[in-house]
Structure 1
């Protein structure tokens, strides 16, 4: 029982951390606020966001494997596959903003200007799409934990 509580707590901390850093990106990625410091901060936030995504995945897998229900039960549940698939989709959506932030910093460092409004808006849209899809993950997780739509 203690292991289950510890795994659940670590998973929740990882999820909340992910939400904080994704929200921070969405907040900072605005044309009106764009400057050199924000460009570098976006890259740093994105790196931490990636680390927290790995932490969410690892703690979630640990819960499934070592939790009370065990991996045998979880791996046969469609909701788990939905959660993992959605997590992968969100991860794939995060690639473009990651590359964009790094390109913006390189361009600015090489003497170019700041990104234009359209680039910032398009990148922010992808970040917000990730954030909105992320809402579905804990809903599916609670349904899975409570046995809704399970086999």
Structure 2
């Protein structure tokens, strides 16, 4: 019982912190674009977002397929779980360009080279779209928790 509780708490805290982090990254990117921000704020928020995404993946995988919660069969036959996983994959796909660019920024800053900020507006929008997708994942999760079956 305590393990179930711990896994659920870690998962939910990662959702909350991850939502904050991706929104903070978007705001920091906008500020960088208008000259009022700094790359360090973007990279800190991005680090938190990355850790939360990994935590969500691991804790969610353990909860769904590790013999906890409702069991693997329930999740594999639950349409809202498929929706939630589709949203997660969309987030991962949207994340590719910002992730690659921010890795390049980290390497450039470590070498003392200027970073390319041409796409900060796009990456801010992507961050905010990802935040919306996280919220939609929460909506799907609440339906799953209550056994809602679509279709």
* TM-score interval, smaller chain: 0.7 to 0.9
Question: How much does 1:44 deviate?
Answer: 3.3
- Relative distance call for 1:113 and 1:48 in structure 2 (3 A) is closer
Q: CA separation in 2, counterparts of 1:76 and 1:96?
A: 32
Q: Secondary structure at the match of 1:115?
A: coil
Q: 2:112 aligns with which of 109, 114, 132?
A: 109
The 8 Å contact of residues 144 and 150 in structure 1, kept in 2 or not, is answered as: no
Q: C-alpha deviations, 1:72-131, integer Å up to 9, x for none?
A: 221221211211121011011112112223344528932x46624xx2211111111111
Q: C-alpha deviations, 1:22-81, integer Å up to 9, x for none?
A: 12101211223455xx21332232233112101011111222233242122212212112
Q: CA separation in 2, counterparts of 1:75 and 1:113?
A: 44
1:140 aligns with 2:140: yes
Instruction: Single out whichever of 8-17 and 25-34 deviates more from structure 2.
Output: 25-34
- Relative distance call for 1:68 and 1:121 in structure 2 (3 A) is closer
Aligned pairs (5 A) from 1:30-109: 30=30, 31-34=33-36, 38-65=38-65, 66-104=67-105, 106=108, 109=112
Q: Which sections of structure 2, spanning at least 5 residues, go unmatched?
A: none
The 8 Å contact of residues 64 and 70 in structure 2, kept in 1 or not, is answered as: yes
Q: CA separation in 1, counterparts of 2:117 and 2:21?
A: 21
Q: CA separation in 2, counterparts of 1:15 and 1:113?
A: 30
Instruction: Single out whichever of 97-106 and 81-90 deviates more from structure 2.
Output: 97-106
Regions of 4+ moved over 6 Å: none
TM-score (norm 1): 0.82
How large is the RMSD of aligned CA atoms in angstroms?
2.4
